[in-house]
Amino acid sequence: MTPQGEFARIAADDGRAALVSVVAGGQSGAKLLVQTDGTTSGGLGDAELDREAIAAAEELMWAERSELREVGAVSLFVDVTAPAPRLVVFGAVDYAAALCRLARAAAWLPYVCDPRSQFATPARFPEAEEVIAAWPEEAFARIGGIDRATYIAVLTHDPKLDDAALEIALRSEAPYIGAMGSRRAQAKRRERLNALGVTDEEQARIAAPIGLDLGGLTSEETALSIMAEVVAARHGRAGGMLSASGGRIHEVRT
């Protein structure tokens, strides 16, 4: 199968890959397919150009955007296909149900995980892609592990579950890890995680208290603040008010 045909198949299967094409200079029309496991097919006619193309593809397939790149006198178009990002919610609580509804509305894939099978039921979370009644290690395994498009929200307030989920998440490539809890609860959590060997530097990755400061009180408003922070993290934004920001509202990429 040609690189272009394989790319089309991956896209149809809702997978992730990047197809790099020479659009000007060099061997015009040459194509190189790059997959998440590092597998490549095709080529651009020059080993150094291939290396540059692979680096661009690996960056952009996780940034989830297609882009024109200039490599010397050669113009490359990196075409990316990617599945919807995943939001893994630990804790079968009311906030989780509201968060699943918002995630679905934003075209994300929400998962709810909680070892308490009496609470972790599909009937309570109809918007979830899957409800997993299991401890974090098994839950992460059942969704295929944690990649750079897996965002994690820990909502349980149960130290046994919180700590188990965070210990795994903090040693993964997850781009966002948020956790509920008051300042006092966070301090106690920090001590517990330190005792498990998780460093303060690793814990600095936790967004806690989770969510943007919207002043929300209800489950729906709290879920909105969490989803807003997750979306901001995905796009590399701080999540402040647009009226107070400078520059373009929407980043323009060529």
Residue 246 has a pLDDT of 59
pLDDT band at 254 (very low <50, low <70, confident <90, very high): very low
Average of per-residue pLDDT across 238-248: 65
CA angle 123, 82, 202 (to 5 degrees): 80
Does the pLDDT at position 249 exceed 70? no
Q: What is the pLDDT of residues 137-147, one digit of tens each?
A: 999 999 999 99
Q: Are 65 and 20 in contact (CB under 8 A)?
A: no
Of all residues in the chain, what percent carry a pLDDT higher than 90? 75
* Cα-based distances in Å from 69 to 32, 77, 207: 14, 6, 33
Residue 17, number of CB atoms within 10 A of its CB: 23
CA angle 192, 195, 201 (to 5 degrees): 85
Residue 252 has a pLDDT of 40
| 117 φ/ψ angles, rounded to the nearest 5 degrees | -65, -25
- Residue 119 CA to residue 105 CA, distance in Å, equals 23
Residue 70 token pair? 């200039």
Residues β-bridged to residue 87? 110, 151
Residue 128 has a pLDDT of 96
* Longest pairwise C-alpha distance within the chain: 62
Q: Measured in whole angstroms, how far is the alpha carbon of residue 47 from the centre of its chain?
A: 32
Q: What is the pLDDT of residues 1-41, one digit of tens each?
A: 899 999 999 999 999 999 999 999 878 899 999 999 999 99
Residues 6 or more apart whose Cβ sits within 8 Å of residue 196: 163, 167
Higher local confidence (pLDDT), 37 or 248: 37
Residues β-bridged to residue 51? none
HSE on the CB side for 175, CA within 13 Å? 18
pLDDT band at 251 (very low <50, low <70, confident <90, very high): low
Residue 44 has a pLDDT of 92
Cis peptide before 110 (omega within 30 of 0): no
Residue 216 has a pLDDT of 79
Residue 158 has a pLDDT of 86
Q: What is the pLDDT of residues 61-89, one digit of tens each?
A: 998 889 999 998 999 999 999 999 999 99
Residues β-bridged to residue 107? none
Of all residues in the chain, what percent carry a pLDDT higher than 70? 94
Average of per-residue pLDDT across 109-130: 95
Q: What is the pLDDT of residues 169-217, one digit of tens each?
A: 999 999 999 999 888 888 999 999 999 999 999 999 999 899 999 887 8
Does the pLDDT at position 118 exceed 90? yes
Residues 6 or more apart whose Cβ sits within 8 Å of residue 116: 92, 133
Q: What is the mean pLDDT of the chain?
A: 90
- Residue 179 CA to residue 149 CA, distance in Å, equals 18
Q: What is the pLDDT of residues 159-169, one digit of tens each?
A: 889 999 999 99
Residue 250 has a pLDDT of 52
Report all structural domains of the chain as residue ranges with CATH numbers, in order of start.
3-81 (no CATH), 86-234 (3.40.50.720)
Residue 4 has a pLDDT of 92
